[in-house]
């Protein structure tokens, strides 16, 4: 075991995967000599050379288009988009090319590629550097979406993403890159894609979150427990596929649910979870599913972003609200 933060765990995993498999390579803007904008690829070019750690032009569609071609021809590219807000430039390559290859070719071709991208606010970035856009890809059938919240999860999930036979979007919360240190297994391991993690069992209310908002959600749970609430806390880990079984089983036990995410509220992942609960567990719930989210606006300027991001106070308030709304 070695103590790591998330960016160290990602760097360690990339090195481990490249040592294990010569078909794994990295491409993106400044991933080589500069080691990546957050140093996720630091030092890899010195070990594996410029043919496997490729600095590209500033062209996101070119990065993903090249990765698609590499993947179809048998390589396992890990492409880095410097910030998730820049991914609009590559949407056609992701949604219309990478995600559809298996369907379009009737299973004769597939694209075993990973797209890594930092996202989330809380670090005072300029416009387009903090957006949470995971819902866009929930609508793009054919691509998996992973959003880890801890160094150990990042390592196990990134290993699983690289060995997956189809395209995976791996979204990394910027504000958690260096916020948490924990012991991480050095030996290679994988975490199943599409399997949520029940961080804490409880009986009163199910609290669901993932990625960047897990830190605030954990603090809220601690405050609520001190006030007598029994909270079941679920870290989804993966948005696509969604672990419906764990969600439904938990809500059938607690009969109440609050979803916390940083993306805007309308048509977000929280809305999908609410719909699933209505469809499959309606007669087990005693209160409407509530959401604590970002607001339906562009991500704000740095001076007011703390008012936009779901806070501990907002989470606690909505949990108490769902309790007050309960029929039993």
The last residue of a domain, from among 184, 217, 241: 184
| Chosen domain end from 136, 155, 184 | 184
Whole-number Å distance between alpha carbons of 227 and 248: 26
pLDDT at 171: 98
Q: Are residues 105 and 142 in the same domain?
A: yes
Mapped onto helix, strand or coil, the DSSP state of residue 169 is: strand
Q: Is 129 a catalytic residue?
A: yes
Q: What's the domain count of the chain?
A: 2
pLDDT value at residue 6 = 98
Catalytic residue, chosen from 110, 129, 261, 321, is 129
Q: What is the mean pLDDT of residues 160-184?
A: 97
Q: What 3-state DSSP class applies to 279?
A: helix
Instruction: Check pLDDT > 80 for residue 328.
Output: no
Q: What is the pLDDT of residues 140-170, one digit of tens each?
A: 999 999 999 999 999 999 999 999 999 999 9
| Residue 208 near residue 257 (C-beta atoms within 8 A) | yes
- The per-residue pLDDT of the chain, averaged, comes to 97
Query: How much of the chain exceeds pLDDT 70, in percent?
Result: 100
Boundaries of domain holding 127: 2-184
CATH of the domain at 10: 3.40.50.970
Question: Is the CA virtual torsion 71, 112, 62, 23 positive or negative?
Answer: negative
Q: Which residue has the higher pLDDT, 328 or 239?
A: 239
* pLDDT higher than 80, residue 117: yes
pLDDT tens digits, residue range 270-286?
Answer: 999 999 999 999 999 99
The answer to whether 138 and 145 have CB atoms below 8 angstroms apart is yes
């Amino acid at each position: 075991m070695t103590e790591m933060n998330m960016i160290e765990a990602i760097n360690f995993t990339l090195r481990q995967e490249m040592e294990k498999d010569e078909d794994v390579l990295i491409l993106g803007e400044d991933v080589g000599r500069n080691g990546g904008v957050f140093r996720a690829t630091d030092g890899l070019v010195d070990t594996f050379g410029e043919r496997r750690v490729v600095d590209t032009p500033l062209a996101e569609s070119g990065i993903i288009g090249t990765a698609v071609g590499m993947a179809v021809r048998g390589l396992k590219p890990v492409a880095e988009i410097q910030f998730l807000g820049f991914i609009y430039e590559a949407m056609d390559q992701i949604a219309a090319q990478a995600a559809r290859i298996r369907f379009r070719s009737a299973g004769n071709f597939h694209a075993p590629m990973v797209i890594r991208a930092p996202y989330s606010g809380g670090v005072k970035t300029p416009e387009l550097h903090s957006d949470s856009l995971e819902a866009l890809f929930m609508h793009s059938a054919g691509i998996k979406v992973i959003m880890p919240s801890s160094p150990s999860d990042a390592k196990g999930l990134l290993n699983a993403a690289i060995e997956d036979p189809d395209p995976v979007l791996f979204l990394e919360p910027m504000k958690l890159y260096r916020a948490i240190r924990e012991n991480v297994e050095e030996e290679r391991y994988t975490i199943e894609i599409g399997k949520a993690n029940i961080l804490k069992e409880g009986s009163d209310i199910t609290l669901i979150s993932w990625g960047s908002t897990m830190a605030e959600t954990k603090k809220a749970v601690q405050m609520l427990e001190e006030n007598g609430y029994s909270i079941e806390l679920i870290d989804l880990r993966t948005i696509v596929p969604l672990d419906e079984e764990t969600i439904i089983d938990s809500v059938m036990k607690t009969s109440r649910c609050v979803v916390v995410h940083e993306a805007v509220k309308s048509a977000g992942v929280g809305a999908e979870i609410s719909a699933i609960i209505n469809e499959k567990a309606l007669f087990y719930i005693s209160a409407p599913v509530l959401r604590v989210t970002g607001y339906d606006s562009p991500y704000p300027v740095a001076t007011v972003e703390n008012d936009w991001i779901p806070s501990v106070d907002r989470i606690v308030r909505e949990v108490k609200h769902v309790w007050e709304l309960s029929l039993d």
